[in-house]
Structure 1
Amino acid sequence: MQTETILYIVIAGIIALLLALFQYFNKKKSMSKLNMLFSFLRFITLFSVFLLLINPKFEHVTLTTEKPNLVIAIDNSSSIKHLKQTENALRIIDKLAQNSELNSRFNISKYSFAEQLKPFDSVMFSEKQTNISNALNKLSQVYNTENTATVLISDGNQTLGNDYEFIASKFKTPIYPIILGDTVTHTDLKIKQLNVNRYAYLKNRFPIEAILTYNGNANVNSRFVVTRGNTTVYSQAVNFTKHKNSITINFTLPANSVGVSSFKASIIPIENEKNIINNTKNFAVEVIDQKTKIAIVSDFPHPDLGALKKSIESNEQRSVVFLNLNEILNQITDFQLIVINQPNNKFRQLFDVIDKDNKNRFIIIGSKTDLNFVNSISKNFTHEITNQTEDYQAELNLNYAPFIIDGIDFESFPPLKSNFGAVNFSIPFEALLNKKLGNVSTNQPLLLTFEISNRREALLFGENIWQWRAQSFLNTKSFNAFDDFLGKLVQYLASNKRRNRLNVEYESFYNGSTNVVIKAQFFDKNYMFDTRETLIITVKNKNSNEEKVYPLILKNNNYQVDLSSLPPSEYNFSVKATNENISKSGTFKILEYNVEQQFLNANVSKLQQLAKNTGGTSYFIDDSNNLINNLLSNNRYTTIQKSNKNIIPLLAWKYLLLIIAISLTSEWFLRKYNGLI
């Protein structure tokens, strides 16, 4: 407290005392006990009021201790079980978590990870994918500013994600890997990678690339074989040596029948080969009869056009052609969908032709669009003309009904440049995305679809959608999310199929290492999404004839069920609405392949390099005591005492007001009791 404040308090005390004495002793020569009590109460009241006016401030210091964090991250993928390290993993978890000295020194937190990082509950070592880099990235976000030691219990074998070896730039704290698995090198032949397109076209040949690897010192001979059922469709002899340990084989196979064709690629095992699971890979190709052709027509170049082509053609069932206004008129019947970018008066003849042929269309309206022309040729909507533009962000409409849409974090996407002004419709439409200005929803559509006269049409009121595709890649390290979103829109627009009340979305085949998720939408008789219905799916294994029934769970704007627990086989399924006689059937195939069983050893070198890059040390399972001793003796991990100094004004001390109230009340009551009032 400052000297000036102390002086004010002393003066306030003297003044309060003088006023109290003056009030009760200026007319009396003797000092009675009652007057002394009255003077004291009045002094307390006055002095407290003066203190409130002065409002001195006091320092309040609190001391806290902060222990360092010990994060234990355990690999919960099935490769741990495949390498027979389950007991070792559980033993080391208990040993670290129950050590009394570590608990005294650290705040211990446990996590499990495979494809995603999760708080530790229990581990079954059954998950199908491992993403170590994702787990470390999530941990770095949580503990980046704290004193933390991270113990990574893993075999180091990653099946998806970025290379975790070089994560040191993001991870500011040491990582101490405990290496699970055999470190002895075994002789092994392996199909390292099989590259094949998901789709092929009838009467064509589809290419396949197989990368075969060998681990060993002796010269070996084997044979690479591809079979379909019991028929061998391709075979080639392969030879390996210590130095020639990798071979790439390129070949083609014919697509003779429509539907899903399943194949098995194998490399014949050599004598005494320990792991023969990685000698075989199953793959499938869906043969389709024709390709969806889409034309993009624009009067000027724009980055959106390239992004649309890349995104649409990410699905091999679709091809995109850029055409000018003269070329499209003679080829209009070749395309199932016409994409028109920012039309103006030059497009009048094109609109006359596509209106005559009742063609499906996707129109992009941006800053260079001639709105007078658009209003003149459109019978379904009018756009207010203000000659101004505005940047709008997108807001997903969760009640969008025509097809199933998953959110792809539209809130993080850059705004699109759009014409300012209201759009008025004369027909019903479905808004897929709405315009959002800052945090304010405008209830105006940004992307919408509608159906009229047996044709489908979409309108996008904004340009620079290429930035969305780029941002989606930054968010997810892949273009897949955005491409799938646009692909569903194009699939809807390129088809004229009659709208059904029950729509089911599924793949023709699933790889054994991916999640098998089937989604469905159910609509009432007015084609509004119905959340009251109960959907069930009946799945029948074609090989065993075993049937299973699952409920579909309502999630956002669709129902879905996860069938990842089903064993590899071919299945028939039927989705049925329980309250109405409506159902939809289909078939899918789950291919037999477990990527986690492709490993023979722990990836020792990567885990050791990870430890080195982050300033930690790697340990084998038998060295766990050394890890504990090093953590306890490391001066970096010491408990820190922190002091927190708060400046508290007297006004914040509520008891002073209580003292004033008590002293005034007591004085009044005593004066009243003694007949002085």
Structure 2
Amino acid sequence: MQTDTLIYIILAGIVALLLALFQYINKTKSMSKTNMLFAFLRFISLFSVFLLLINPKFDQVTLTDERPNLVIAVDNSNSVAHLNQTEKAKSLVEALSGNDALKEKFNLEFYTFGERFKNSDSLSFAEKQTNIDEAFSQLAQIYKGHTAPTLLITDGNQTYGNDYEFAFSKYKQPIYPIILGDTITYTDLKIQQLNVNKYAYLKNKFPVETFLVYNGSQNITSKFVVKKGNTVVFSETISFSKENNSKLLNFNLPADRVGVNTYQATLLPLENEKNKVNNTYNFAVEVIDQKTKIALVSSFYHPDLGALKRSVESNERREVSILKPEELLGKLNDFQLVILYQPNDNFKNVLAELNKENKNRFIIEGTKTDLIFLNENNKSFDHEITDDYENYQGTLNTNFSPFLMDDINFESFPPLESNYGSVIFAVPFQTILYKTVNGISTNQPLLATLETNGRREAVLFGENIWQWRSQSYLNTKAFNQFDDFIGKLVQYLASNKKRNRLNIDYQSFYNGNGNIIVKAELFDKNYVFDARETLQITVTDNLSKTSKTYPLILKNNNYQVDLSHLSPSEYSFKVSSGKENLSKSGHFQILEYNVEQQFLNANVGKLEQLASNSEGDSYFIDNTTSLVDDLLGDNRYKTIQKSHKNSLPLIDWKYLLAIIALSLSAEWFLRKYKGLI
């Protein structure tokens, strides 16, 4: 409490006492017990009121003990089971969770990681991928500013994600790897990696690249064979030695049948190999007989052109040609879609020919667009001319119906620069993205589609979409989401197929270690998304002829089902609705491949380096007897006593109001009783 506040309280007490004595003692000139009682009650009332006016603050100090956290993160991936370490891992977790000394010193926190990072101590060792770096990223957020030594129970084999060896730079905690596995070196041949394009074109050849690795000390010879069914389509004899222990093979295979073609690559194993699973790699290529050609027409250069070309051509079934307006004339029938980038007077003949041929188009406006020309030569919409510009962000219209569109976090994308002014459409249109300014929707379309007279169009009212592609990469560390967004729009515009009320989004084939998600979208007769319907999918294994039915779950603006549990095989499926008599069929193939079964040993070197860099220590699973003692004896992990100081104003103390009420009430009743009122 400050000195001036204390002086005010003393003065308040003196003033309250003088006023009470003046009223009850001075007037009657009596020192009776009754008057002294009345004076006391009045003093209490006045002094309490003065205290409320002064409102002094009192400091309250609370002491708390904060124990350090002991984080126990367990690798829940299939590689642990493949190395026969599941029972040892479970036994260690049970021993740690039941150790009273550890529970007394630490707050024990259990997590598992694999494909996903979870707060759990339930172990199945069934996850198909391992991302150790993601586990550290999540832990760094949870335990920022806290003491949290971490036990990492793992074999150290990561299948995707950033290199976890340097995770200590963002996760400032001592890390104690518990290594599941051994350091014994086994003789092994394996297909380290195989790269192949997802699509190929009929009667062409497609390239295949494979990286073969040998782990051993003897000179050996093996054979690399690629089969399509029972037919050998490629083979080559390979020699390895201790010094020459890797080979890079590049070869071409013919694309002679339309559809999904599956292949099996095998590096013939040695007799004494322990792991023969990693000698085989299944892959597939979808052969198509035509390529969608798109013309990207602009009279000047802009970064948007390169971004659009890369996005569209991320799907190998599409080819983009960047042309000047005059270069397109006479070649219009060579393309299934024309993208007009910021049209001006130079586009007059192009637009006339497009209108004559009733061709699909995608118009992109920007600050260099000639709106007078565009309004005169375009019959679908009219853009108000104001000579002003505005920056617009986009927000997804969840009721957009022509095709399935995912929200790729458009709100986080930079604004596009566009002409200011409203747009009036002369034909029916559907909005994909609405314009927003400072987070407020204008209900004006930023990206819209139109269908009229058998022609499909799209209009983007803004330039600098290259920044969207860059931001999408910053958000997800990949261009895939943005490229899929552009790809779906281009696929819709390049096709003249009649719109269906039930649309299915799936791939022709999946790798066995990936997620298998089938999405569906259902619309009512007015092509408004119907979220009340019940959809189910019946999946049939074409080899075993067994069928199972699963419900599709409503998620955002589509229905989804996760089929990742299905075993490798060929499948056909049928999605049907409950109320409406609608259904759609398809087929896909799951390739047999388990990346978690490609490892022979624990990654001891990387785990030991991680422990050293983070000032922790490493232990093998068979030698953890000193682990608990080391943790208990480490002086870095002590219980910390923290004090929390709170300043409490007197006005928050409700008992003072009760004292004022009681003293005034007592004085009034006593005066009434004595007949003084």
TM-score, length-normalised on structure 1? 0.98
The alpha-carbon deviation at position 386 of structure 1 amounts to 2.3
Query: How many Å apart are 1:121 and its aligned residue?
Result: 4.7
CA displacement, residues 563-588 of structure 1 (integer Å, 9 cap, x when unaligned): 11111110111111122221111111
| Offset at residue 61 of structure 1 (A) | 1.1
Aligned-partner Cα distance in 1 for 2:609–2:84: 24
Aligned to 1:341: 341
Residue 141 of structure 1 is matched in structure 2 by: 141
Query: How far apart are residue 247 of structure 1 and its match?
Result: 0.5
Q: Distance in 1 between matches of 2:485 and 2:395?
A: 14
Question: Do the aligned residues in 2 keep the contact of 1:401 with 1:557 (CA within 8 Å)?
Answer: no
Alignment partners' CA distance in 2, 1:652 and 1:306: 65
Range with greater deviation from structure 2 (2-11 or 458-467): 2-11
Which amino acid is 1:81 matched to? Answer: A
SS of corresponding position for 1:8: helix
Alignment length, in residue pairs?
A: 677
- Provide the rounded CA distance (Å) in 2 between the counterparts of 1:661 and 1:371: 77
SS in 2 for 1:662: helix
* Aligned match of 2:244: 244
- CA deviation vs aligned residue, 1:639-661 (integer Å, no higher than 9, x gap): 11111222222222222222212
Match of 1:420 in 2: 420
Q: 2:657 corresponds to which residue?
A: 657
Contact 1:539 1:572 in 2 (8 A): yes
Cα distance per residue 1:577-606 (max 9 Å; x no partner)? 122221111111111111111111111111
In the alignment, the residues of structure 2 paired with residue 289 and residue 387 of structure 1 have an alpha-carbon distance, to the nearest angstrom, of 48
Counting only pairs closer than 5 Å after superposition, residues 252-331 of structure 1 correspond to structure 2 as: 252-331=252-331
What is the alpha-carbon distance in structure 2 between the residues aligned to residue 94 and residue 313 of structure 1?
A: 52
Deviates more, 1:512-521 or 1:415-424: 415-424
Maintained 8 Å contact 1:311/1:483:
yes
Shift of 1:328: 0.6
Deviates more, 1:55-64 or 1:70-79: 55-64
Give the AA of the match of 1:193.
Q
2:384 alignment partner in structure 1: 384
Residue 26 (structure 1) shift: 2.0
- Cross-structure match for 2:151: 151
The more displaced of 605-614 and 127-136 is: 605-614
Corresponding residue for residue 489 of structure 2: 489
Offset of residue 671 of structure 1: 2.0
Paired residue for 1:556?
Answer: 556
Which residue of structure 1 aligns with residue 620 of structure 2? 620
For 2:611 and 2:393, the matched residues in 1 are separated by 43
Q: Which amino acid aligns with 1:345?
A: D
Between the aligned partners of 2:546 and 2:244, the Cα distance in structure 1 is: 47
Q: Which residue of 1 aligns with 2:63?
A: 63
Moved more, 618-627 or 540-549: 618-627
* Gap runs ≥5 in structure 2: none
1:571 maps to: 571
Measure the CA separation in 1 of the matches of 2:112 and 2:590.
27
CA distance in 1, matches of 2:630, 2:427: 73
Equivalent in the alignment of 1:365 = 365
The corresponding residue for 1:79 is: 79
Cα deviation, 1:207-264, whole Å, max 9, x if unaligned, reads 1011110000001111000001111111110010001100011111111111011110
- Root mean square deviation, CA, Å: 1.3
Q: What is the distance in 1 between the residues matched to 2:397 and 2:73?
A: 38
2-side partners of 1:433 and 1:498: how far apart? Answer: 23
Secondary structure of the structure 2 residue equivalent to 1:144: coil
Contact 1:70–1:151, Cα closer than 8 Å, also in 2: yes
Could you tell me how far apart the structure 2 residues matched to 1:357 and 1:628 are? Answer: 79
Specify the code of the residue in structure 2 equivalent to 1:171: Y
- The share of aligned pairs that are identical, in percent, is 64
Q: Where do 1:76-155 residues align within 5 Å? A: 76-155=76-155
Tell me if the contact between 1:83 and 1:182 (Cα under 8 Å) persists in the aligned partners.
no
Instruction: Out of 97-106 and 323-332, give the one that drifted further.
Output: 97-106
- In structure 2, the CA distance between the partners of 1:671 and 1:374, relative to structure 1 (3 Å rule), is farther
Q: Does structure 2 retain, via aligned residues, the 8 Å contact 1:144–1:173?
A: no
Corresponding residue of 1:223: 223
Give the CA deviation at 1:464.
1.1
What amino acid maps onto 1:676 in structure 2? L
2:10 matched residue in structure 1: 10
Deviation at 1:439, TM superposition (A): 2.5
Structure-2 change in CA distance of 1:661 and 1:426 (3 Å) = farther
Q: How far apart, in 2, do the equivalents of 1:140 and 1:38 lie?
A: 66
Query: AA paired with 2:400?
Result: Y
How many angstroms does 1:30 deviate by? 2.8
Partner of 1:591: 591
- Code of the residue aligned with 1:277 in structure 2: it is V
Cα offset, 1:487, TM superposition:
0.9
Separation in 2, partners of 1:608, 1:133: 16
In the aligned structure 1, how far is the partner of 2:613 from the partner of 2:296?
49
Q: Distance in 1 between matches of 2:598 and 2:426?
A: 60
1:396 Cα offset (Å): 1.7
**In 1, distance between residues paired with 2:258 and 2:300?**
40
Provide, for residues 401-450 of structure 1, a one-character-per-residue CA deviation record: whole Å limited to 9, x for no partner: 11112222222222211222222223332211112222222222111112
Q: Counterpart amino acid of 1:661?
A: A
Q: Distance in 2 between matches of 1:408 and 1:211?
A: 35
| Counterpart position of 2:516 | 516
How far residue 132 of structure 1 moved from its aligned partner, in angstroms, is 0.8
**SS at the partner of 2:311?**
helix
Judge which range, 96-105 or 79-88, deviates more.
96-105
- Which residue does 1:29 correspond to in 2? 29
Q: Which amino acid aligns with 1:156?
A: G
| C-alpha distance in 1 between matches for 2:391 and 2:624 | 57
Relative to the length of structure 2, the TM-score reads 0.98
- AA matched with 1:443: N
Alignment of 1:188-199 (within 5 A): 188-199=188-199
**CA distance, structure 2, for counterparts of residue 358 and residue 175 of structure 1:** 65
Q: Distance in 1 between matches of 2:447 and 2:431?
A: 6
